[in-house]
Amino acid sequence: MTLLSVRNLSLSIGRHPILSDVSFDIGEGQIFGLVGESGSGKSMTALALMGLAPASARVRGTAQFGGIDLLAQTERQMTRLRGRDIGMIFQEPMTALNPMKTIGDQVAETLLVHRAVSRAATRTDAQAVAAEKLARVGLPTDRFPLSLYPHELSGGQRQRVAIAMAIALRPRLLIADEPTTALDVTTQAQILDLLRGLAADEGLALLLITHDLAVVADMARQLAVMQGGRIVETGATEPLFRAPRQDYTRRLLRAAEHRPARRPPARSTDSSAPLLSVEGAVRDYILPRPSAFAPHPLLRAVDRVSFSIRPGESLGLVGESGCGKSTLTRAILGLDPLQGGAIRLGQAPVTAGRTMPAALRARMQVVFQDPYGSFNPRHRVSRLVAEPFHLTGRPPDADRRIAAALEEVGLSAADRHKYIHEFSGGQRQRIAIARALIIRPDLIVLDEAVSALDVRVRAQVLDLLARLQESHGLAYLFISHDLSVVRAVTDRVLVMQSGRIVEEGATEDVFADPRHDYTRRLIAAAPKIPETWKEDADADAD
Amino acid sequence: MKASLYLGLALALAALLAAAASLIWTPHDVTALSIADKLKPPSAGHWLGTDHFGRDIASMLMAGARTSIAVALVAVGIGMGFGVPLGLLAAARHGSIVDEAVMRGNDLIFAFPSLVIAILITAVFGPSAVNAILAIGIFNIPVFARVARGGALSLWTLDFIRAAEVAGKGPARISAEHILPNIASLLIVQGTIQFSLGILAEAGLSYVGLGAQPPTPSWGRMLAEAQTMVTLAPHVAIFPGLAIVLTVFGLNLLGDGLRDRQDPRLRART
């Protein structure tokens, strides 16, 4: 039975077409995946269906949902539908809840607004239903009382509350816009399990919007691939993965699994002196006093961590948020002091702040995750890229080297006169790499450097990194929560949990035969496209 | 929204032009007394009439604009000159004893009404335009310190600051090179608002006799001197009052307009 039937949905803002002739069907209780890169129109499609498109947008087409056309409803009619017949959850669990209200009140609010509990019923009745819904999403009242505030919950738990709110009135359709993108892999697996369970048990249809092909492969029976506001391909998931008909889909699939060509790790250098060695590093944070005269408690964010990186090696560091990777990174970069242990670069100790000699700092550079926050918007690219010259002194041929660095990362020398807002996310990450390269460091720390990029751009940047490693003999410390990327580009990998390294080894060995329980859980939780689906696609591509 | 920005700009420029013109030319000598011509209504000879000493009101307003603008400008300068570095320092040393000291010092200044401190300063050093500037200027310091610290704190969390740290730059250099240009627009907007408040404060201090002393013309004192004759010759009070209102109104419109312009979400809609 078709629940939602979208036909020729088009949307334009001013003269710019955003969506063109989007058509798809979702059956009752079906999980439907909508995938595409950023800017492809996935989220706008969902907003248009909910009647939440920007006021200046012109929407055409039809969307039949249980006998009514969603696109022809007035705002007043839509408010009755939203929450009651169609629920929605968003990407960012940190901002989706009102921080000033308890979780019980927030779930109960949906019920009260729609008068789902009879008019005479009290708040208590609504609270009772809220408790039941929260228990259904895995937050039973005995462990998670209704009186909790959002800040007392983790990201995954908040996303559960958001789901409880969305399903409180047993809607027939749930729209989930990147519901797990902001979550860790193990939490992601739990939330996806929950959504799958809801679809199966309550006959809830799910429109799952995501950029992650592996998530769709794992979840959806049907899917549609969007590009530039159009659906380029639609069909049942497995056949579509096995034999994509459209070139775009094929490129997307190939990019998701892309492994840059890398020379095998140089085993012969095993005996050579390490480039970076971390010995028993300890990093404590001072927490606020629990009471006026109590001593400050300490939080040990990094607990006796030891490892080393050889020249020219790629070392991966994986772990979930809060495991201490970022804290460790700051200490390695000489931004924060250690409370115990030592970090050495070459033979010289890495110390925090001003005490670290510039020549030592110049051997190490960093590329950050966020392509938008990584640059001062007021400076031109030539000045941004030249910033590390502060460490070495500006060489006489600085201009030529800036141009060369930009060309090395695949941009043109003329780009140095532009401002950073003129570049896309992928180009910005290239500029960040140019900035790191310009003083020819020995080690580049890549802190989630490709996590914010679309799959195809990510594949290109990974290729670039592999090429640069070969030509410059760079060592990389590759920090990421994305296991597939780490597997594709590193020689050795460290797994970090609660401030400790729990497993270390050659990347392929760790992934093929994880010994620590936590590593096993991480690998099991990461969604993947089944191996058997890929063979056909590869054969097709050749 | 655009229109209000231009109206504000026009009013502020008019006050500035009047002040600048008074340096080389006024219709009449502002100190020339002519008791025979006292309290004359506006006429061809005296565009805005004369006051109780027969002085030309138009000339006095022009010269008074000079006093008002000079006092407000220097006071904003003092506020920015001390407040912005303090705010940047507090942000760079966020959470440390330095941050605490700067911000609690600000709170201390905020805790006293500015007029009380102005009276205190003038009681000790005697009333003068310079002391009025000092009193107003001191009260601008915490305002700019807070704005600078707030803007800087959100910038300090961004990765490009991290990149600058990795490039071995210290907090002072990062503040000057990366933070300051990115909070400049905030400071300019706050500057126009403090400027209008400065004009108002100078008029207030002069009104109670703590600002510029005679014979230096001042809008506030003109108003104070005219109030006993407001039924007899209303124009003597109305014109300085209008000058204050229009200038402050113009500067506020300018400040609002500039703030809207720097907010990309608001800019996109126009």
Could you tell me if A30 and A205 are in contact, meaning their C-beta atoms sit under 8 angstroms apart?
yes
Do A364 and B167 lie within an 8 Å CB cutoff? no
Residue B263's pLDDT band (cuts 50, 70, 90): low
> How confident is the model over A492-496, as a mean pLDDT?
94
B263: left (phi over 0), alpha (psi -120 to 50) or beta: beta
Any B CB within 8 A of A151 CB: no
Mean pLDDT (whole number) for A304-329? 90
The single-letter code of the amino acid at A293 is F
Q: Are A435 and B163 in contact (CB under 8 A)?
A: yes
User: What are the beta bridge partners of residue A355?
Assistant: none
Average pLDDT of every residue of chain A: 87
DSSP summary character for residue B139: H
At A169, the pLDDT band (50, 70, 90 cuts) reads: confident
Cα B239 to chain center, whole Å?
20
A285 token code pair = 């944070």
Q: Do A373 and B164 touch (CB under 8 A)?
A: no
The C-alpha of A365 sits at a distance from chain B's nearest C-alpha, in angstroms, of 7
How far from the centroid of its chain's Cα atoms is residue A464's Cα? 21
Under a CB-based contact definition with an 8 Å cutoff, are residues A229 and A20 in contact? Answer: yes
Using DSSP's 3-state secondary structure scheme, residue A282 falls into strand
Q: Enumerate the β-bridge partners of residue A479.
A: A317, A447
* Of residues A140, A222, A155, A150, the one with CA closest to residue A185: A155
Which residues, 6+ apart, have CB-to-CB distance to A11 below 8 Å? A17, A18, A19, A44, A48, A53, A57, A58, A59, A60, A229
* End-to-end Cα spacing for chain B: 8
Are residues B91 and B63 in contact, defined by beta-carbon separation less than 8 angstroms? Answer: no
Q: CA quadruple A28, A31, A35, A39: dihedral positive or negative?
A: positive
Percent of chain B at pLDDT exceeding 90: 21
User: What is the side-by-side strand order in the sheet with A443-447?
Assistant: A364-367, A443-447, A475-480, A314-318, A492-497, A500-506
Q: Hey, which of B81-95, B125-139, B255-269 has the most confident mean pLDDT?
A: B81-95
Q: How far apart are CA B177 and CA A536, in angstroms?
A: 55
CB nearest A378 (choices: B159, B165, B182)? B182
Is residue A246 within 8 Å of A229, Cβ to Cβ? no
Give the list of residues 6+ apart from residue B221 with CB closer than 8 angstroms, or none. B206, B207, B209, B211, B212, B214
Mean pLDDT of A475-481: 91
Contact B162 A368 (CB under 8 A): yes
At B268 the pLDDT is 46
Cα separation, A112 vs A119, in Å, equals 8
Instruction: Please say if the pLDDT value at position B267 is more than 70.
Output: no
Question: Among residues 433-462 of chain A, which lie with CB inside 8 Å of chain B?
Answer: 435
Q: Quick check: B231 and B165 in contact, CB under 8 A? A: no
**Cβ contact, residue pair B168, A358, below 8 Å:** yes
Give me the pLDDT at residue B269, please: 43
Alpha carbon distance A364, A367 (integer Å): 11
Contacts of B168 in chain A (CB under 8 A): 356, 358, 361-362, 390-391
Q: pLDDT at residue A120 above 60? A: no
CB of A352 less than 8 A from some CB of B = no
Instruction: Give the separation between CA B145 and CA A76, rounded to whole angstroms.
Output: 47
The average confidence (pLDDT) of chain B is: 84
Q: Which residues of B touch A333 (CB under 8 A)?
A: 165-166
Grade residue A456 by pLDDT with cuts at 50, 70 and 90: confident
The verdict on a CB contact (< 8 Å) between A390 and B168 is yes
Q: What is the pLDDT of residues A400-451, one digit of tens each?
A: 999 999 998 888 888 889 888 888 888 899 999 999 999 989 999 999 888 8
Residue B15, SS3 per DSSP: helix
Distance CA(B164)–CA(A115), nearest Å, equals 55
**Minimal-distance CA residue of chain A relative to B159:** A374
- Strands of the sheet with A57-65, listed across from one edge: A16-27, A2-13, A57-65, A68-69
Compute the average pLDDT of residues B6-22.
Answer: 87
Within 8 A of A368 by CB-CB distance, chain B residues are 159, 162-163
Decide if A92 contacts A177 (C-beta within 8 A).
Answer: no
User: Rounded to the nearest 5°, which phi and psi values hold at B48?
Assistant: -115, 15
Two tokens at A382? 């030539």
Q: Are A32 and A220 in contact (CB under 8 A)?
A: yes
Contact B159 A361 (CB under 8 A): no
For the segment A193-224, what is each residue's pLDDT rounded down to a tens digit? 999 998 888 889 999 999 888 899 989 999 99
Q: Which long-range contacts (CB under 8 A, 24 or more apart) does B217-222 make?
A: B217/B30, B217/B60, B217/B61, B217/B63, B217/B64, B217/B67, B218/B64, B218/B67, B218/B68, B218/B129, B219/B61, B219/B64, B219/B65, B219/B67, B219/B68, B219/B243, B219/B244, B220/B244, B222/B51, B222/B57, B222/B60, B222/B61, B222/B64
Residue B270: pLDDT band (50, 70, 90) is: very low
pLDDT attached to residue A268:
46
Helix (H, G, I), strand (E, B) or coil at A334: coil
Amino acid (1-letter code) at residue A153: L
All residues of chain A having their beta carbon less than 8 Å from the beta carbon of residue B162 are 335, 366, 368
Query: In chain A, helix, strand, coil percent, each to 5?
Result: 40, 25, 35
Closest CA to B188 of B260, B121, B108: B260
For B229-260, what is each residue's pLDDT tens digit?
Answer: 888 888 888 888 888 899 889 988 888 888 77
- Rounded distance between C-alpha atoms, residue A395 and residue A401, angstroms: 9
What span, in angstroms and rounded, lies between the C-alpha atoms of A47 and A53? 5
**Rounded Cα distance, A375 and A356, in Å:** 24
Q: What is the pLDDT of residues A256-280, one digit of tens each?
A: 888 888 766 555 455 678 899 999 9
A423 in contact with B, Cβ within 8 Å: no
Q: In A425-510, at which residue ranges do the beta strands (DSSP E only) sit?
A: 443-447, 475-480, 492-497, 500-506
CB contact under 8 A, B168 and A364: no
CB contact under 8 A, A361 and B168: yes
Name the helix (H) or strand (E) containing A10.
Answer: strand A2-13
Backbone angles phi, psi at A99, to 5 degrees: -65, -15
ipTM: 0.75
Rounded Cα distance, A506 and A482, in Å: 17
What pTM was computed for the model? 0.81
DSSP lists the bridge partners of residue A349 as A344
In the DSSP assignment, the letter for residue B175 is I
Most confident residue range from A79-83, A169-173, A222-226, A522-526: A222-226
Closest CA to A537 of A152, A246, A177: A246
Is A467:A420 a contact under the CB 8 Å cutoff?
no
Q: Give pLDDT, residue A234.
A: 92
pLDDT at A116: 60
User: Cα separations (Å) of A70 from A45, A62, A130?
Assistant: 12, 7, 28
Please give the radius of gyration of chain B, using alpha carbons only, rounded to the nearest integer: 22
Q: What is the pLDDT of residue A479?
A: 92
Average pLDDT on B178-196 reads: 88
What does the pLDDT look like over A4-42, one tens digit per residue?
Answer: 999 999 999 888 888 999 999 999 889 999 998 888 888
Say yes or no for a CB contact (<8 Å) between A373 and B158.
yes
Among A538, A447, A452, A409, residue whose Cα is nearest residue A37 = A452
Question: How far, in Å, CA of B20 to CA of B15, rounded?
Answer: 9
